[in-house]
Amino acid sequence: MLSRLARDPLLHFVVLGALLFAAYSWVGPGRGADRREDRIVIDQAQLDHLEAMWRAQWKRDPAPGDVAAIIDRHLRQEVFYREALKRNLDHNDEIIKRRLAQKMEAVASDLGTLMQPPTEQQLRAFYDGRKDLFMQPRAFAFRQVLFLPEEANERSRMKAVLVSLQQGAAVPSDRQNKAALRDDWPLTSAATLDNAFGPGFAKALEDLPLGTWSGPVRSGYGWHLVLMQEKRDPRLPDFDEVRDIVSKQHEYYAVLEAQDRMYAELLKGYTVSLTAADIPAEIRSRFPAP
Amino acid sequence: MTKEQLSALLCAALLLVPLSSGAQTPATKAPVRENPLKEAYFGEEHLHTGVSMDAFIAGNRLTPDDAYRFAKGEEIMVNGSLHKIKRPLDFVAVTDHSEFMGEAYSLMNKGAPGYDDPVAVSFRTAPDLKTALELYNKYVLAPLAGGGSPHPDFFQGSQAIKSTWRKNFEAAEKHYKPGVFTTIHAYEWTSAPGGANQHRNVFFRDANVPDMPFSSNEGADPEELWAWMQKQRDEGKKVFAIPHNSNESKGLLFAESSLTGKPIDKKYADTRASMEPLIEIMQVKGNSEVVPNFWPNDEFADFENAISIQRFNGRTLLKENFVRYGLGRGLKYKADLGTNPFKYGFVGGTDNHNGTPSNVEEDNYKVGSHGLADRTAKVRSTSVLEGEMLISDANPGALTGVWAVSNTREAIWDAMLAKETFATSGPRMKVRAFAGQGFAARYGSYEALVKDGYAKGVPMGGNYKGKGAPQILVWAVKDPIGPNLDRIQIVKGWVEQGEIRDTVYNVVASGNRLKKDGSVEPIDAPIDMKTGQFNTKKGAAELMGVWTDPQFDPKQQAYYYVRVLQLPTARWTLYDELREGVTYPADVKRQIVERAWGSPIWVEGS
C-alpha cells in the first residue's frame, strides 16, 4: 500500500499538482514530451496552476499585470532552481536533506508493507495477541414503549401504562412504533443502541430486571418503558468469523511498525562510526564498531 | 504530464494494491419483510473509491469492497487512520467515474490479461528491497516527475474498462443482502464543459446492467447520455440519472437551451423528465438549495453555501444555479411546453473521494473527504481544495432518506423513481408529507397518520390532483443522537404573470412559538462553544401538523416542499478546534442549523 508515502506532505504537493495536470490532460490534447534541460515551457495547464495558487494566496482573480508577475516569478524560480541543481547546491542543505529523508522514509514504509503480506500463521498469532481488538461488545434484546417529553400528561400516562403492561396488557395502539421507532429490539450491541436511542441509553438498560416491564429509561427521544428479554456478555468471536477484521487490523499495526523495521534494515547497509568524544558509552554500544 | 504518463503512473501504482480474494457469497433468498406503510432507509447516493482516478491520485486505495464494509459499520483504514461511521447505512451506491475505469483491472486481478506482464510480475515478485525500489522509481516516481514516458503495456482498451466495471459490479453483488443492506449498481458520468458541472450519477434498478458504462469520452452532452440510457431501456434495463452540484454548473443545469445551443423544446423536456427524477441537493461541495444573495427573505438560506467555489473555474454564484430556481423554471416550462423538465425530487450525497460512504457526522469528520488534500485538521484549517474551494467551506456531505416498503434494490430504486425521498444535511431525522383533502387535525398514532396520508393524499414526489387548496400533512422526527427539532417549513413556488416566485411558510414549531402572523419566536438554543454540546432541553422530538395553502390559486401551477430545521449544532470546524487545537479564520462558521428537505409535491392542474 502507498499509505505511508501518502502521508508525506511534499508528495501531497506533487500529487495535487499532478491532479491538476490530470484534469487538463484528460480534456485537452496530449502535449509533447520533449523536455530538454534548457527549455522552460509554460503551457495553459501550467499557467492555470500558477494562477490557482495565486488566487489561493490573494483571494481574487489576477489582473493582466498580475499574470506578468506570476510568470516572471515562476521563471525566476525555475531558472535559479535549475542553475542551483547544476552547481549541486542541493547537496548538504539541511532543509533539503530533511525533505528527501521524509520522502524516502515514506517510500520505505510502503515497500515494507508491500513486500511482507501476512501469513495465516501471523494473522492467527496477531488475533491471539490482540484479543482486545476483536471482542464483541455487550448486547441487549428488549421491547420498548416511548413517551415524548412534549406530550401532555406524559408522566401520569406512563405510570398507568407501566402498571397495565406489568399486568399483561398489550402495548396501547397510540404507542406502537411511536415516533417511527420500532417496538422490538433483537440482540443489539450497546454501541448501536446508543446510536439508535442516544448516548447513555445502553448503560441505563444495565439496571433493568429481566422478564418484566420496567423503567422509565431516558433516551434522545424521551422516556421508555422496557421489557428486558436478554443481556448478553461480551464475547470473543472465532478467528474465522472475524478473519477480515483481523487482517485489516493487522495491516494497520503493520504500517505502524514498518518504518522502524525498514530503518533497521537500511541501517545494516551502513557502517556507523561514532568518533566524537562526548558520546556516552551506553549510546556508543548500540552501534558496534566495524 | 501527458495522458500516457498519467496512465503509466496509474498502472504502476496499482501494482502496489494488494489483491483481495474474497469468496463469493450468493445473495440469500430469505423472504424480505415488507412494510406497506414504508420505512425510511438512509444511504449514500454519491461516492468515489480508488477506482475513480482522481480519488486514486489523491491517495485513495480503497476498493468498492472496502466502501461497502465501511457502510456496514466496519472500521477501515482511511488515509492512514482507522475510521468508521457511528451508524451503519441501509444502502449505498458507489459512483466511480466511468471516465477513469480504464487500465486498472488487469493489474489488480489474477488471471486478467496483463496480469502476467513481465513488469507486473517482476514487481509482485521483487526478491529484495533494492529491486523493488528500482521498480518503484521507474514506474511511480519517474513518471510523477515527468522524466519519462513509459507506455502502459497493460492497457487493454475498452476490455479493461469493462473489466473494472465488472469488478465494481461483483463487489456490489457480494455485499447485497436483501432486507438488510442494499447495494445499487451505479456510476458517475463526468462532463464539465468549460468547468460548468454537468455531472450525473447513473443508477440501475437491478443486476441487469450494460457491460460497459457510457462516459463523457463517448459523449459530453447530457442529451448523448440520455440517448444511451434510452437505448439501455429499450433493451430492458431500468436506469435513471441524478445531476449534482448545480451550484457549480455556471447556469447550465437549469438552462434556457441545450448544451448545443438549441432552445429547450418539448422533446428535450420529455426526455429529461423521463431520465432524471431526482437531483442531489447537497454534498461536500455545497448546498444547492438556495443562497442568501438571491433569496434574502429566506432567513435560513445561509447554510453550507460553499461560496469560495467562486474563486475557481469561474464558477460564479448565479440564481440559475440553485435548485429552488430550477423547480420554478420547471413550472414555467410546463406551462409553455406541456412538460416540466426540472421536476426533481431530492436526494443528498457526499461525493466523498475517500471511499467512505456517508461519512457525514460533524463530530466524526476526522479524516476529511478528499484524500490527502484534507486529511488532518491542520491541513483543513489552512488549505484550499485545489481547483475547487476553501476546505473550511466544505462540509462532510449530505444523506439520502428513501421511503420504501423494504430494504431491497427494487424497492429503494422504485421509491427513488417515484421521488418519495428526502435529503438531510447529515443527521438522520425523518420527514414525511402528504397533500390531499380531509386530513384530521391530530392523529392517535404515527401509523394512523401515515395510513390516512396515503388514503386521502399523495406522498412526497407526487402530483396533487384534488380540487381546492391542498391540505399538506407534515410529520418529522428527530435524529436520536442529535438535538430536538425547531420547526417544519413549507416552501411554495409558483409562476405569476410569467414571473417565478417562491415563499417560505412556517407550518409547525415546537412549543407555542408559531404566531398568528406566521412568524416563529426564535428558539434561542445556542451550542456550548467550549464543548460543542447542543441544547438538550428545548425543541420537540416529533412534530406534526396539517397546513392549508392560504394563497392557493387553482389557475396556478405550484410546488410545495418541506424543510425541517433542528436546533443548532456544532460544525466540524469547531470540533477540529476543540479536538486538534487548530484555529479557523473568524468568518468560518462553528455552528449550523442542520436540516432535511422533503421532495416536492406538485400541483400541475389539468
Residue-by-residue DSSP string for B32-63:
PP--TT-EEEEEES-B--TTSHHHHHTT----
Gap between the Cα atoms of A289 and A280, Å rounded: 15
CB contact under 8 A, A25 and B540: no
Q: In what order do the strands lie in the sheet with A223-232?
A: A184-189, A139-147, A223-232, A213-218
ipTM reported for the complex surpasses 0.85: no
Gap between the Cα atoms of B240 and B203, Å rounded: 5
Size of interface A-B (CB pairs under 8 A): 168
Q: What percent of chain B has pLDDT over 90?
A: 67
**Nearest C-alpha in B relative to A112:** B129
Q: Is the pLDDT of residue B58 over 60?
A: no
Which residues in B lie closer than 8 A to residue A161 (C-beta atoms)?
A: none
Q: How large is the C-alpha radius of gyration of chain B?
A: 24
Q: Identify the weakest region by mean pLDDT among A48-62, A71-85, B343-357.
A: A48-62
pLDDT of residue B102: 58
User: Quick one: average pLDDT of B343-351?
Assistant: 97
Determine whether A59 is exposed, middle or buried from the number of CB atoms within 10 Å of its CB (0-12, 13-18, 19+). exposed
> What one-character DSSP code corresponds to residue B509?
E
> What one-character DSSP code corresponds to residue A221?
S
CB contact under 8 A, B481 and A25: no
Percentage helix, strand, coil for chain A under 3-state DSSP, each rounded to 5: 55, 10, 35
User: Residue B523 CA to chain centroid, in angstroms?
Assistant: 30
pLDDT greater at residue A38 or residue B440: B440
CB contact under 8 A, B541 and A222: yes
Task: Please say whether the beta carbons of B406 and B35 come within 8 A.
Answer: yes
CB contact under 8 A, B446 and A194: no
DSSP labels, A78-109: HHHHHHHHHTTTTTT-HHHHHHHHHHHHHHHH
Give the SS3 label for residue A226: strand
Q: Is the pLDDT of residue A51 over 50?
A: yes
User: What is the pTM (predicted TM-score) of this model?
Assistant: 0.75
The single-letter code of the amino acid at B214 is F
Q: Is the pLDDT of residue A168 over 60?
A: yes
pLDDT of residue B107: 47
| Residues paired with residue A235 on neighbouring β-strands, in sequence order | A136
> CB within 8 A of B281, min separation 6: which ones?
B287, B288, B289, B323, B346, B347, B348, B398, B423, B597
CB contact under 8 A, A1 and B144: no
CB contact under 8 A, A179 and B74: no
Which residues in A lie closer than 8 A to residue B564 (C-beta atoms)?
A: none
Distance (Å) from the C-alpha of residue A282 to the closest C-alpha of chain B? Answer: 31
CB contact under 8 A, B59 and A6: yes
What Å distances lie between residue A9 and A14, A52, A103, A263, B119, CA to CA?
Answer: 9, 19, 9, 20, 29
Q: Is the pLDDT of residue A35 over 60?
A: no
Gap between the Cα atoms of B388 and B588, Å rounded: 17
* Helix ranges restricted to H, A175-242: 190-197, 201-205
Q: Identify the weakest region by mean pLDDT among A114-128, B200-214, B385-399.
A: A114-128
CB contact under 8 A, B3 and A197: no
**Nearest C-alpha in B relative to A46:** B1
Q: Identify the weakest region by mean pLDDT among A267-276, B4-13, B499-508.
A: B4-13
Instruction: Report the residue of A14, A21, A24, A151 to disrupt the B interface, i.e. the one with the largest count of B CBs within 10 Å.
Output: A21
Task: Please say whether the beta carbons of A258 and A112 come within 8 A.
Answer: yes
User: What are the boundaries of each domain within chain B?
Assistant: 429-603
CB contact under 8 A, B481 and A110: no
Distance (Å) from the C-alpha of residue A48 to the closest C-alpha of chain B? Answer: 10
Tens of pLDDT, residues B365-418: 999 888 777 888 998 998 887 778 899 999 999 999 999 999 999 999 999 999
Option in B59, B80, B480 nearest A15 (CB) = B59
Q: Is the pLDDT of residue B116 over 90?
A: no
| Residues paired with residue B181 on neighbouring β-strands, in sequence order | B177
Cα-Cα end-to-end distance for chain B:
58
Which residues in B lie closer than 8 A to residue A110 (C-beta atoms)?
A: 16, 136
Q: Identify the weakest region by mean pLDDT among A77-81, B172-176, B354-358, B419-423.
A: A77-81
Which residues in A lie closer than 8 A to residue B387 (C-beta atoms)?
A: 19-20, 23, 52
Instruction: Report the residue of B360, B445, B485, B510 to disrupt the A interface, i.e. the one with the largest count of A CBs within 10 Å.
Output: B445
Ordered domains of chain A (ranges, CATH): 5-111 (no CATH), 120-131+238-284 (no CATH), 139-232 (3.10.50.40)
pLDDT of residue A8: 43
CB contact under 8 A, A52 and B445: no
Instruction: Report the residue of B10, B523, B542, B543 to disrupt the A interface, i.e. the one with the largest count of A CBs within 10 Å.
Output: B542
